[in-house]
Structure 1
Amino acid sequence: MSGWTIRARLTAAIVVLTAVLSLLGLWLGVGVLEGQVRDAAIEARVEQFDGFDNDGFDAFTKEVFASPDFIDVFDLTGVIFGTGFEEFDKFETAFVTETVNDLAVYDELAAAYGSSSGTVQVWLSPESIVAIDRDGSAAMVSEPLDVPVVPLVDLLELNPIDVEELLQGGSPDDLELAFGTEEMDGVTFGFVAEVTDELDAVETIRSTLQVVLAAIVVGAGLATWFIAGRALRPVGQITGRVREITAGSLDDRVPESGREDEIGVLARTMNTMLGRLENADLRRRQFVSDASHELRTPVAVLKSEAEVARRAPDSTSVDELATVVLAESNRLQGLVGDLLSLARSDESSVGDARGMIDLDEVVFAEASRTRAVPVDQGEVSAGRIAGTTELTQRIVAHLLDNACRHAESRVAIGVRTDGEQVRLWVDDDGPGISADQRERIFERFIRLDDARSRDEGGAGLGLAVVAASVEELAGTIAVTEAPLGGARFELTFPRA
């Protein structure tokens, strides 16, 4: 079933489940019904038998054998065998034996009520019990064996043909019998009741239910196939649209049904993902374009200086050429480093590599480096955060470089722990940043004015690197006006 669709699997599962439950229910239901039919038949026989007293048994026996059909049989037997009513016991024994044999119920009686040797006892009256052995021999007994005795009344009512026809070789129909025992006056009786018609009716019910249940199973399969098809149709539409979307058509979206079910959520989630992919692709394209533009400038400078030196070697100083090449190489190196930092921040996070970092120590180390503008460290106090030394050094270094690049004469840095947060700020006395530009400066390759020109050494990546690194450390960054008159970059981190 690995190649089956969800629709086919669901339909097959419903069909199999419905069929199994239907067959199980049919089997249990019909079994219970058959049991109730047999129990009801035995209860009826018990009630009828319980209505007889001793005189009733004698009257019943005499009435049966005194009927016109039985008188003829009895007289014929007396003529042939020379017997009369004084030999009535022998006649009863022969009659019971013939009845059991002609009804062909001996094996069933022996299985239900027979002794270990196969003897079956038939009750005619309280004083008349006939024991029939497996070999067909029979005898009248005065006391019953320790097995149930079968009332002759039950046997005589098993077949609709009369006894004369039975004794003359008539053949009964196939009988369905019910068996049950009941103790009366210290004697255990084994009752027999014919349930042929009733079980035929049950079998008719079974056959009808089989047809009905088969139709139900087929109907359930067709309904499941139809409903599943309608329910999964949007999934097919989503799949078809996704197949059509390529790298050049990320602005396409899958159809949304407007429903609040799982498929509607899937469509909306898919469109959200496509939106993220589209934005990421746009940023990537813009990033590649801007990076190519920024890298082209130092490469062009290096190429130009080399061509000038080659055309006019006598007028080119080695020191001047080395100075230009070194400056552009440093600029190129910084640009490539920033690009790598951004690429790494896009692809991974700090994760389990975090450790305890003393932010004040990192600040002292970076602020002590030689820069164009001295850095005031007077407001640096203890502060510990979770992160890596590489990220924290990158953040502090870029902030100080940016502040020194735009400051007139003063740069200040501070660290302070406030409750569960650690604050880091860098101030300068430069021109500052207008309120409407304070979000844009963290975008890649953004320079707000001429002061942030390539000649000043900025490529517009430093603050983007800072923002990405701060995000990796679960921190925040904001720009406000500094007390020195320029810009203040204020960062907050969770306290470790």
Structure 2
Amino acid sequence: MGAVTRIPDWLRPSHWGLRIRSAIAAALTVGAVLLLAAWALLGLLSRSLLRETDAAAATRADTVASELARSSVADLPGSLFDGTGQIAVVQIIDARGAIARESNPKYATPLLDPATVAESDSGRRPVAPYDEDLRVAARPVTTPTGHFLVLVGGDSEPAEHAVKRVAALVAVGGPIVVAAAALATYLLVGRSLRSVEEIRRRVAGIGAAGLAERVPVPVARDEIARLAETMNDMLARVEAGHQAQRRFVGDASHELRSPLAVVTAALELARDRPETLDAELIDGTLLPETERMRRLIDDLLTLAAADENGLELRGGDVDLDDMAAEQVLALRMRGGLTVRSEIDAVRVVGDSPKLERALRNIVDNAAAHARTTVAVTVRRDGALARMIVDDDGPGIPAADRERVFGRFVRLAADRARATGGSGLGLAIVSEIVAAHGGSVTIGESPWGGARFVIALPTGVDHPVADAP
């Protein structure tokens, strides 16, 4: 078998640039349109010229027939037999089928077989051996001296020559038009791509330290301008995400540094003074700080998973009333607060452990800030289930009620380490509730404190994975 010839890369359309592909596409399109237009033009021109030839022959035949009906063949004016313009020959055929008079001796036989002509006709082809360029008009005439047939041959050769000249002009001008269209497309696409290339160079030069830079937006309000605006919007989102990531890493490092420093100091103390490593040091310092780091790491992993792929939910029936009753009981067992509850039987479809964690975070937050009272309410409101947690603490200003769901966000009143919070609890609540297709909002409780409201759909309005 012979070796297969490899096509050079430069001949492969996939290796051509956008300018070349656009120019070739424009050339092919314009060429195809020109071919169709030329075909239609030449066809219409040919038919129009042939109709003019047939009309001239028919007019001359009508004139000769009209004169012949009033006089004899010999008395017909000679001007009727002049071969001028589009008329090539005029013949008068008698009843025997012989030529009684003709305009050109070289046409020695009738143009048509008289037996085939029963009535007036136009545009017929002559009999052999006459040139098919002739188009014959026939008019039967009955006179006092007998029956005659007037035949007039129109010459279609001038029409054919005119069509050929037009075709030649199209053949010469068509490639010029195609080449001009391809060149214009090549130049225009290149001019448009200069703006795209400028955007590309600017984006390529933007590093992590220069995310505040933006690409130039062309003055023309076209697709390139919209591309530049979209690119600037994307850069703004990347900059915001980068800044949020830096803040997140900084805050996480800060939160982990404190318990780690305490644990390290306690271990160093135990190393230098072994007698100090007693139950008080372990239970009062090491275990609480270790538990604080564990919770912080769990929270960070939960939020990282939500950022990467979204929270994975295991679906099932969840009785919110039972869940709320457990949280109320646990809060009452802690002591120190008056806990009120108003719980109706409400069931939703969702991930029970995650919903329990969200409610627990809200209840713990209320307990940490309440002065004397916390209230938990569960009720059905149409197609929604609402879990409401109120406290009589200092409340949350309206300007901060959206911000507190951010990560590592703690208000000034919540800065004390005594609360043990990392600023991630409400962020996790927001992610869990959003994954269930619900919403969480903050308002003012009847006692002037904070009111957290978790609203969840009671039906399956969101994708929920089947429980294993």
User: TM-score when scaled to structure 1?
Assistant: 0.69
The change in CA–CA distance for 1:140 and 1:195 in structure 2 (over 3 A counts) is closer
User: In the alignment, what sits opposite 1:299?
Assistant: 260
Amino acid at match of 1:289: G
Equivalent residue for 1:31, pick from 32, 39, 43: 43
Residues 62 and 487 from structure 1, CA distance in 2 versus in 1: closer, same or farther, beyond 3 angstroms? Answer: closer
Separation in 2 of the partners of 1:394 and 1:200?
Answer: 93
Question: Helix, strand or coil for the counterpart of 2:440?
Answer: strand
Q: Give 2:391's aligned residue.
A: 428
Q: Secondary structure at 1:59's aligned position in 2?
A: coil
Cα deviation, residue 396, structure 1: 0.4
Show CA shifts across 1:347-386 (max 9, x none): 3446986666443232223333365346735212234455
Range with bigger deviation, 381-390 or 282-291: 381-390
**Cα deviation, residue 39, structure 1:** 3.5
1:195 and 1:430, CA in 2 relative to 1: closer, same or farther beyond 3 A?
A: closer
Q: Check if 1:448 corresponds to 2:411.
A: yes
Q: CA deviation at 1:398?
A: 0.5
How far apart are residue 463 of structure 1 and its match?
Answer: 1.9
Cα deviation, residue 476, structure 1: 3.7
Deviation at 1:462, TM superposition (A): 1.2
Aligned position for 1:117: none
Query: Which has the higher Rg, Structure 1 or Structure 2?
Result: 1
Say whether the 8 Å CA contact 1:54–1:125 is kept in structure 2: no
**Does residue 362 of structure 2 align to residue 347 of structure 1?**
no
Task: Please give the alpha-carbon distance, in whole angstroms, between the structure 2 residues aligned to 1:471 and 1:395.
Answer: 11
Q: For residues 275-331 of structure 1, what are the alpha-carbon distances to aligned partners after superposition, in whole Å with 9 as ceiling and x for unaligned?
A: 111111111111111111211222222222222222222343256336533222211
Specify whether residues 56 and 124 from structure 1 end up closer, same or farther in structure 2 by C-alpha distance, changes over 3 A only.
farther
Whether the 8 Å contact between 1:175 and 1:196 is mirrored in structure 2 is no
8 Å Cα contact 1:179/1:193 also seen in 2:
yes
Q: Please say if residues 302 and 328 of structure 1, whose CA atoms lie closer than 8 Å, have aligned partners that are also in contact.
A: yes
The match for 2:374 is 411
Query: In structure 1, what is the Cα distance between the partners aligned to 2:319 and 2:219?
Result: 52
- Residue number among 168, 172, 193 corresponding to 1:207 in the alignment: 168
Structure 2: distance between partners of 1:447 and 1:224? 59
Q: Which has the higher helix share?
A: 1
Alignment-mate amino acid for residue 205 of structure 1:
V
Quick one: distance in 2 between partners of 1:248 and 1:431? Answer: 41
Comparing 309-318 with 351-360, which one deviates more in the overlay? 351-360
SS at match of 2:451: strand
Query: Deviation at 1:22?
Result: 1.4
Size of the aligned set, in residue pairs, is 408
Counterpart residue number, 1:402:
365
Contact 2:61 / 2:137 at 8 angstroms: preserved in 1?
no
Match of 1:14?
26
Alpha-carbon distance in structure 1 between the residues aligned to 2:132 and 2:338:
111
Q: Which of 465, 472, 479 matches 2:442? A: 479
- 1:425-473 Cα offsets, whole Å, 9 max, x none, are 2123334445554444333223334654234321121122223333334
Alignment deviations for residues 380-430 of structure 1 (CA, whole Å, 9 cap, x no partner):
223445543233212101011122223344322112233444332212333
Higher mean displacement: 360-369 or 51-60: 51-60
- Structure-2 residue corresponding to 1:461: 424
Asked if 1:325 is matched to 2:267, the reply is: no
- For the aligned residue pairs, the C-alpha RMSD in angstroms reads 3.9
Between the aligned partners of 1:358 and 1:268, the Cα distance in structure 2 is 48
Between the aligned partners of 2:347 and 2:396, the Cα distance in structure 1 is 29
Secondary structure at 1:255's aligned position in 2?
Answer: coil
Partner of 1:111: none
Structure 1 portions without partners, runs of 5+? 64-121, 131-138, 155-173
